[in-house]
Structure formats: C-alpha cells, structure tokens
Structure 1
C-alpha cells in the first residue's frame, strides 16, 4: 500500500526527517510511536505533501507520489486526520462531512463510506448532525475528523495522535472504531505516543527519535516492552 525509503523533510531551512523508511501493507495497521517532537507529525505532513520533502522512494500502491501536490495525493486514496483536527467550527457535522465527500479512487475496493456508514461507526455523531463543530467537545471533534476523512473513501488513512487530549471513554470508542476500520480492509498508519493504545489496533510498529526510525517490529513486542519502560523506543 505505502512504501517509503529514505524520506527527508524540512520546515523552511530546518531539516526534521533524516532518511526515514517504513512500509504499510494492504489491510495492515502500522503504528509510528515516539515522543513529542520526534518527527511523527512531520512524517504525516510529508507523506501528504504539506511540507518540503525528498525521498529515494515514496509510493502509494506502486505509484510514485513524491512530486505530487496534496490534493492529487488525496484523490489517489490517502485520507489524513491531523493532530489539530482542522474541522470547520462554524459548520455543522453534516456540512463538515459534505465537504469531505469524494468518490473512491480507481482500484480502491474498500467500503464505500456513506453518511449512514460513518454514523453507524460513530452513533453519537448522528445525534449531533446539526451541531456546529465549534460547539462540540474535543472527543466529538476527533470523531468528526475521522468521519470526514472516511467519507473521502481512502485506501490508506493517516491518523496523527488520535488518542491525545480526549477523555478515556472516547479513547475506548476510538479503539473500537479503528479496529472495525482495519477489519473492513482499510490500511492505517497511526502516529502515537501511547503504545498501549496502538496494541489493540496495530500489527507492526516503528519507533521514531530525532527524525529517524530507531526500531521496527511486531506491535506486540513494543507493547509488552512498554510495561517496564516508556512507550517509545525499542523493546529492552
């Protein structure tokens, strides 16, 4: 699904990623785990084309996307849920979702995400369908951000810190929702500090420090090691 080799990225003149490499197979959920400032969000922004980047290889389903602008990458099948959610606060839930609608890219056989499908995934959003985004809690906004990405019918979904700053019950709901998304065949790349959150969802993990991958392997190995060490870094 996604193949990255030797990815460098910059904010202006400041280089933040240094030769980062990772893969996401079709139907797989992969975690990118690290501290704040390690380069997780930068990786997501580089993949979707929001910042300057260069790579030996950056492909989506075998197609080179390294020189493509963000809107073209999105049309090819990458959905993006940013850390700050970026919902439209003056628009209702339905209006936010309408703006995110997009037909499936050619070759994408994943579930066609209608309004009914996302309301089945997040029933609470159905109750709030006429509420402006700015009058929703952080957890509700996070659900809306994921739902808005889904109605764009991606083949690969990038989620940047989906458990950050939301109540424990929302974290539990998000875990169940992402598990269902993976079961539907959607590929996931999840950026997180919390390896335990990812353990219920992801197959493999990469740890990132100072803009480079320091370890990768089974998610279970990282989560088990996290019981006796911080949630970032390789198992000890």
Structure 2
C-alpha cells in the first residue's frame, strides 16, 4: 500500500475544518458501522485545505475496459461499500486489478460522447492485449487521513477510508479507496514533467516528488 512517510508523525488524526458559508465543521455519516466525514460538494475545498503534500499517482498495470449496453446495471464496490450505476449505451465500463466490482467511467458527467472523449484522452488501447487499456494519467493527489465522503468531480458520491487518496480533477476532486491504492504507484519525475506540462515539483523523499507549495498558492 502507498503510505507516505510524512503521515501521522504524532499519531494525530484530528478532523479538518475549512471555511464554509456556515463556518461549521462538517457533519459525519455512518455506513455499515463506519463513520465518514461528509464534505458533500466541498471535496475540492477540503482537498485544498489538506496539509498533506500533493504527490502524483499513476496506475501500475492495464485496466480492463468494455462498452456498456443501454440500461446495464453495474455494481461498484469501494472499501466494502457497494453502489449501483446504470449505464447508457456506449458508456465505458472499467475494472482495475484489485476491484471487486466494475465502474462506469466518469458516471453521470456530461454526455456519453463527452465521457468517451475524456476516456480517449486518459487511456489508450493496449497494443497486444484486447480489452485492456493503458492509463496515460498522472493524478495530483493528497493522502486522506480520515474517512471521507463527498461529491466527485463528475457528480456522483465518492468516498474512502483513511489511507486512501483524494485526487484533484479539474475544478473538483474524487477519491481512490484505501483498498484500491495497490493499483497505483508514485510517478517518476520524468512522467510528471511529460504528463503535467508546467508542473513545478520538488523531491520530498528518494524517488518521490510533490508539487511545490508556492506553485499551488498562485
């Protein structure tokens, strides 16, 4: 599991408060006996306020992909939580190596055509293996130090237990479940510079790079 050296130095897992219109700490919700901090549509603000270093993640291996049929029901399972997604014809259904279920790529975000266009920007077909795709992404991410539930950048619910990651995605964010982190690794310096034009990075550990904080504040 990816678990950076800087987390929990003092065994301190205090909940984070960010400035909101009501200026109140977020409420918690309980799912199957597990308590999550419910940040709702403030997930990106929560991400920005998170003091963890912003690192970059890439997928280790290929992802299974197939085209959905209209009305196909897809069961998405993360951190033991099951959600049902209903596909439109042409949607792309993906499954990473560690996934117990499948998921619709960017479920509910824009039109099917827009989701396919975004998929083609992020993935390419494996040259020798049918049904497998190579992820071209390089995801800016921060470690989640508590159980988090919120609205993903594409509008659906996204959540992770502590030990997962929150991913910056355009003007929004989404999470990678703690149990799915094994599918990812830290990006190399060369991958970051090639896939994230203009990124200003620094080495924070041997072979581990983070965005320079001053660059984030601009």
Structure 2 length normalisation: TM-score?
A: 0.32
Higher share of residues assigned helix: 1
Q: Which structure has more RCO (C-alpha within 8 Å, separation ≥ 6)?
A: 1
Higher share of residues assigned strand: 2
Structure 1 length normalisation: TM-score?
A: 0.31
